[in-house]
Chains A and B, each alone.
Chain A
Amino acid sequence: MMEIAKALPTFILFSPLIGVAVILWLPRQKSQWIRMAGLLGTLPPLLFAFFLACQFNFTRGAVQFRQDLPWFSIPLGQQKWNFSYQVGVDGLSLPLLMMTAIIVVLAAIASFSIKKREKGYFLLFLLLEMGMLGVFVARNLFLFFIFFEVTLVTMFFLIGIWGLVNRERAANQFLLYNGAGSVLMLLGFIGLLTLFQTMDFDRLLGIMHDPQIMQMLAQNEMAQKVLMGAFLCISLAFAIKLPVFPFHTWMLKVHTEAPPPVVMIHSGILLKMGAYGLIRFGVELFPTQVKEIATILAVLGLINILIGAALAFVQKDLRRILAYSSVSHMGIILFGIASLNVAGLSGAVFQAVSHGFISALLFFFIGRLYERTRTTDITELGGLASPMPVMTGIFLVGGLALLGLPGLSGFISEFLAFLGLFHTQPIIAAVGTLGLVLAAVYTLRAVLTVGFGPTDTRWRELTDARWTETIPMLTMVGVILLIGVWPAVLGDPIQTTLEQIMARMGG
């Protein structure tokens, strides 16, 4: 039993391949079977993830379920560069792993609306899931990079084949921006490799927090430069992914052009890979360097919050409103990271998970809505509450969670992030609170226009939610409520791990 438990991350990681293998054998015409296989294929990772969460020791901050298998090595003179398959889960990756496993199942249900080339779609969908899970369990930079790239390539196809009218441009832009980001990341990783001869994350952590080695490095000007360069490359890569303000254009395109289930994943999980990367490789790995740019991060966060909120307010398309609101909410994550204390960082992780579920819920709604109305323009929509009360009600809950209503998950995460930043950068944090007001304004504008007011004759006949729609949406609402009223469910593992990170940073 213990042997199996030790390999749980590996099981989680590769279990989507079961679905891939099954779908490969199904004939192309049996679209109904393929859909079912696709949905069932997302269940094993979820089951394994739940099993892992049950076995997880919440009082330990360190990495658990660590697995280390040699993969290959490059001889370099007398010594060797070893590259290993290293996976593990700690309090930081567990919540994101769980979130990924859950949202992917719901997105698979939403994917039933995909009506062409189902076989290819679900194959890529499951491979994408594997990539995302791999990003969150990898404990080796090389492995991390490979899974990061897997998500890049699969997303390119998912956007480009099943997207809306301008899908090809959206796919291209996605590829080029994120390609540039991952190439930067690779450069940063190689910088670390040449400096420390390893890509093992836990060994790098040990080295970066070893006062003796750091003192030696402090005298070596070259090493300092390489270290700073690597840090900047890696941060920039994740800043593009998050996205931080000037790099956000690709993400708008994806939000508006990709098929709704893919946007659920994109906005719910892929953007969070940026946040996760910034915390894992920025804060955890580079404690000294990140302190130097904390203020810049806070300012960037402020810009994200305000610009995102302001632009969300003037949009007419529901997808674009949510896209800009994502920009704004990612700013809050930056706030949490910039604070560099336990409260702020747990706020950032909370925000990543909570916004993951909220945006997945909202995009699930939008996908269903689009299927019925063929438009997401809020000037055309209105008064939908009377033909479809349940759907609109859930949409309202999602909106309220987005604007941070107490009792829902959005509140606790924003509260923590701001609390953290008020300790270190009170002025920026104070200006940032303006974003919360704006969030209420643009969210309510969208929700109220769509849901209430006079109902257009076109929308009188719309059907309300079927059970295949209600169950996933209520699941997400349930998670949002759960985190809102009982934050400890998420907070405990995060807390212990973050405290350990902070203790290592020395304050």
Chain B
Amino acid sequence: MNTLIDYDWTVMAPELTIVVMAAFLSVIDLFLHPNKDRRLFMWPTLIGIVGAMCFVGMSWGKPAYQILADTYRVDDFALAFKMIMLIGTAFITVMSYGAFRKEKGFAEGEYYYLLLTALLGGMVMASSGDLITLFVGLELLSISTYILVGIRKRSVMTNEAAWKNVVLGGVASGFILYGMSFLYGLTGSTNLFTVRDRLGEALTSGYDLYAWLALFLIVFGFGFKVAAAPFHMWVPDVYQGAPTPITAFLAAISKTAAIALILRMFLIGFIPLFQGGRGTVLDEKTGGRVLLILAGLSMIVGTVIALRQQDAKRLLSYSSIAQAGVILVPLASWGPFLFPSTLYYLTGYLFSTVGAFSVLMLIERESRDSHLSSFAGLSRRSPFTALAMTLFLLSLAGIPVTAGFFGKFYILANAVVTGSPEHWAMYLIAGIMLVTTVASYFYYFAIIRMMYFRASQVEEKLRIPVGAMIVISVAAVATLGLGLMPQLVVDILGNVDWGASLAPVK
């Protein structure tokens, strides 16, 4: 039995950095006079995140390492997801700088350290090798975001959003926990690798029903967290009510963390269900088909409802439901590019989403409203912002030369490669993806139409705070750069031995 001292704790350096910074900020917040401006909290937050990024970068490419009785894994899979989440949170930290200055009673101190704890939850999820740590990470992320969504205490819409988020998010967590309890019951272990080994046995000895029940319960809960249809009801209201940077956080980082969770669960714990679950009540392809349905429905529902939206924030939230469907396609189709295409898409999606939401935040600040017509005449009021927003929307719509286009191309190639007469559903999902992509042009271009084709009542220049300016510029450069030179990321992602990330450490 190892003692705690024996572990190489340096592998947890990114998480520890974030914990230390969050603790530091909460103590400072406690002792600082309530009326003091807490805008400068942005800096320690950012320093913590950048430090964690450096640690993540340093551990990249090393063999997998497990600590804390194999509950916590550091492998390339986890590191890639952590990197995406860190970049995303860094963006959100910077764009929040000065964003809430004029709001009375806005708990800006809490805002920053809760962002860090939410990020920490996501990182723990990405690194878990055990059901318990997985759930702890999930709850840390969820509870932090419950508060962040409701952080504007005096706004009715925010309160509605927070309430819905707590209740529905709580139910989703309950589902996941219930599913996990079945897994534990069947296998007597919470370790994902042990679960995998024993689940095959359980399947053949007549307990297959419970194994499938566990899977479905976890998929239900996961559907909520990743904002996939038919579990998407909470999304538009919560996204609309939350402060816009937090909406971006939910859309980009929470989604990434949920994808990390489901990949771990499916590709380690539940793998016996997909690899010839002989003698089961459901045939072996069903497991994949659950995700296919989830992906297809999300794309269709998200796109169809987004077509009718008149509010930019709701439009983007429905679009994020459709995007969740696209992100699920590689996992549903398994193909040779499962990991690289998912991660590439998430990276591109992160930049475009965060960029789009920061432009939206500027518009909202000016007009106190996120109706589509608030975008009217933006090309005159701020040509740069309009151009950047166009780039983000083109990327979300999957039009070249942007990160989103190459991501969709990658995912589509992955699905088509996997397709075969027995696997015809792959062609179906590729078809759904293409049709919804074309339909999505309509609503993404609705914003572009407003910005360029319509005149605005206000003629004065749009004021852009420094933080938002930096975020928009960097995101725009990244969106374009990843589209022009996909090699930058493909090289990093494509040459990793992902199989090793999913094998137990000897």
When C-beta atoms are compared, the residue in chain B nearest to A163 turns out to be B453
A77 within 8 A of B: yes
- Per-position binary interface string of chain B over residues 334-349, scored 1 when its CB falls under 8 Å from any chain A CB and 0 otherwise: 0011001000000000
The answer on a CB contact under 8 Å between B441 and A175 is yes
A168 to B420, CA, bound (A): 42
Nearest chain A CB to B309's CB is how many angstroms away? 16
Chain B residues near A160 (CB, 8 Å)? 449, 452-453
Nearest chain B CB to A253's CB is how many angstroms away? 15
The verdict on A168 contacting B449 (CB below 8 Å), with A76-B336, A153-B399, A186-B409 known, is yes
When C-beta atoms are compared, the residue in chain B nearest to A221 turns out to be B421
Query: Which of B9-17, B276-284, B411-419 has 4 or more CB atoms under 8 Å from chain A?
Result: B411-419
B446-504 at interface with A (beta carbon < 8 Å) = 449, 452-453, 485-487, 490, 494-495
The verdict on A72 contacting B490 (CB below 8 Å), with A145-B400, A186-B412, A194-B417 known, is yes
A129 within 8 A of B: no
Query: Which of B49-57, B220-228, B430-438 has 4 or more CB atoms under 8 Å from chain A?
Result: B430-438
B339-390 at interface with A (beta carbon < 8 Å) = 340, 379
Chain A residues near B449 (CB, 8 Å)? 160, 168, 171
When C-beta atoms are compared, the residue in chain A nearest to B446 turns out to be A172
The verdict on A183 contacting B416 (CB below 8 Å), with A72-B486, A160-B453, A168-B449 known, is no
B107 within 8 A of A: no
A74 within 8 A of B: yes
Chain B residues near A149 (CB, 8 Å)? 399-400, 405
Chain A residues near B258 (CB, 8 Å)? none
A152 to B399, CA, bound (A): 10
Chain A residues near B452 (CB, 8 Å)? 120, 157, 160-161
The answer on a CB contact under 8 Å between B413 and A146 is no
Chain A residues near B412 (CB, 8 Å)? 186-187, 190
A180 within 8 A of B: yes
The answer on a CB contact under 8 Å between A176 and B441 is yes
- A187 partner, pick from B401, B430, B441, B495, beta carbons under 8 A: B430
The answer on a CB contact under 8 Å between A74 and B337 is yes
Nearest chain A CB to B359's CB is how many angstroms away? 18
A144-163 at interface with B (beta carbon < 8 Å) = 145-146, 149-150, 152-153, 156-157, 160-161
- B416 partner, pick from A156, A168, A190, beta carbons under 8 A: A190
Nearest chain B CB to A291's CB is how many angstroms away? 25
The answer on a CB contact under 8 Å between B485 and A72 is yes
Nearest chain A CB to B488's CB is how many angstroms away? 9
Nearest chain A CB to B322's CB is how many angstroms away? 15
- A172 partner, pick from B409, B416, B445, beta carbons under 8 A: B445
A35 to B98, CA, bound (A): 42
Nearest chain A CB to B402's CB is how many angstroms away? 10
A71 to B486, CA, bound (A): 9
When C-beta atoms are compared, the residue in chain B nearest to A70 turns out to be B487
Interface SS majority for chain A: helix
B270-317 at interface with A (beta carbon < 8 Å) = none
B100 within 8 A of A: no
Chain B residues near A152 (CB, 8 Å)? 399
- Per-position binary interface string of chain A over residues 86-121, scored 1 when its CB falls under 8 Å from any chain B CB and 0 otherwise: 000000000000000000000000000000000010
The verdict on A190 contacting B434 (CB below 8 Å), with A175-B445, A222-B421 known, is no
- A168 partner, pick from B410, B413, B442, B453, beta carbons under 8 A: B453
The answer on a CB contact under 8 Å between A183 and B434 is yes
When C-beta atoms are compared, the residue in chain B nearest to A193 turns out to be B413
Nearest chain A CB to B168's CB is how many angstroms away? 34
- A194 partner, pick from B400, B410, B416, B445, beta carbons under 8 A: B416
- Per-position binary interface string of chain A over residues 286-307, scored 1 when its CB falls under 8 Å from any chain B CB and 0 otherwise: 0000000000000000000000
B394 within 8 A of A: yes
When C-beta atoms are compared, the residue in chain B nearest to A142 turns out to be B409
A73 within 8 A of B: yes
When C-beta atoms are compared, the residue in chain A nearest to B380 turns out to be A117
A150 to B401, CA, bound (A): 8
A306-339 at interface with B (beta carbon < 8 Å) = none
Chain A residues near B486 (CB, 8 Å)? 72
Chain B residues near A176 (CB, 8 Å)? 438, 441-442
Q: What's the tally of chain A residues with a CB closer than 8 Å to chain B?
A: 35
The answer on a CB contact under 8 Å between A146 and B400 is yes
The verdict on A74 contacting B410 (CB below 8 Å), with A153-B394, A168-B453, A194-B417 known, is yes
Chain A residues near B379 (CB, 8 Å)? 120
The answer on a CB contact under 8 Å between A161 and B453 is yes
Nearest chain A CB to B459's CB is how many angstroms away? 14
Chain A residues near B405 (CB, 8 Å)? 149
A506 within 8 A of B: no
A191 within 8 A of B: yes
A363 to B366, CA, bound (A): 44
Chain B CB within 10 Å — which of A120, A160, A171, A190 has the most?
Answer: A190
A179 to B439, CA, bound (A): 9
Chain A residues near B417 (CB, 8 Å)? 194
Nearest chain A CB to B330's CB is how many angstroms away? 13
A73 to B490, CA, bound (A): 8
Chain A residues near B438 (CB, 8 Å)? 176, 179-180, 183
- Per-position binary interface string of chain A over residues 382-399, scored 1 when its CB falls under 8 Å from any chain B CB and 0 otherwise: 000000000000000000
Chain B residues near A194 (CB, 8 Å)? 413, 416-417
The answer on a CB contact under 8 Å between B487 and A72 is yes
A145 to B416, CA, bound (A): 18
A75 within 8 A of B: yes
The answer on a CB contact under 8 Å between A74 and B490 is yes
The answer on a CB contact under 8 Å between A179 and B441 is yes
A149 to B438, CA, bound (A): 13
A194 to B427, CA, bound (A): 13
Chain B residues near A179 (CB, 8 Å)? 437-438, 441
The answer on a CB contact under 8 Å between A150 and B487 is no
A73 to B340, CA, bound (A): 13
Nearest chain A CB to B220's CB is how many angstroms away? 32
The answer on a CB contact under 8 Å between B336 and A183 is no
Chain B residues near A180 (CB, 8 Å)? 438
A92 to B416, CA, bound (A): 32
Nearest chain A CB to B355's CB is how many angstroms away? 18
Nearest chain B CB to A104's CB is how many angstroms away? 21
Chain B residues near A72 (CB, 8 Å)? 485-487, 490
The verdict on A190 contacting B409 (CB below 8 Å), with A76-B336, A149-B399, A180-B438 known, is yes
Nearest chain A CB to B61's CB is how many angstroms away? 15
When C-beta atoms are compared, the residue in chain B nearest to A28 turns out to be B383
Chain B residues near A153 (CB, 8 Å)? 394, 399
Nearest chain B CB to A77's CB is how many angstroms away? 6
Nearest chain B CB to A21's CB is how many angstroms away? 15
Nearest chain A CB to B480's CB is how many angstroms away? 13
A161 to B379, CA, bound (A): 12
Chain A residues near B485 (CB, 8 Å)? 72
Chain B residues near A146 (CB, 8 Å)? 400-401
A75 to B416, CA, bound (A): 16
Chain B residues near A161 (CB, 8 Å)? 452-453
A193 to B438, CA, bound (A): 22
The answer on a CB contact under 8 Å between B495 and A222 is no
Please name 15 further chain A to chain B contacts, defined as beta carbons within 8 Å, in addition to the given A157-B452, A179-B437, sorted by A numbering: A72-B487, A73-B490, A77-B336, A146-B401, A149-B400, A153-B399, A161-B453, A172-B445, A175-B441, A176-B438, A186-B412, A187-B430, A191-B416, A194-B413, A194-B417
Q: Which of B's residues lie within 8 Å of A, judged by CB?
A: 336-337, 340, 379, 394, 399-401, 405, 409-410, 412-413, 416-417, 420-421, 430, 434, 437-438, 441-442, 445, 449, 452-453, 485-487, 490, 494-495
The 6 closest A-B pairs by CB, nearest first: A72-B487, A75-B494, A146-B400, A183-B434, A179-B438, A179-B441
Ordered by A's residue number, 13 sampled pairs between the chains whose C-beta atoms are within 8 Å are A71-B487, A72-B486, A74-B494, A75-B495, A146-B400, A149-B405, A153-B394, A175-B445, A176-B438, A183-B437, A184-B434, A186-B409, A191-B416
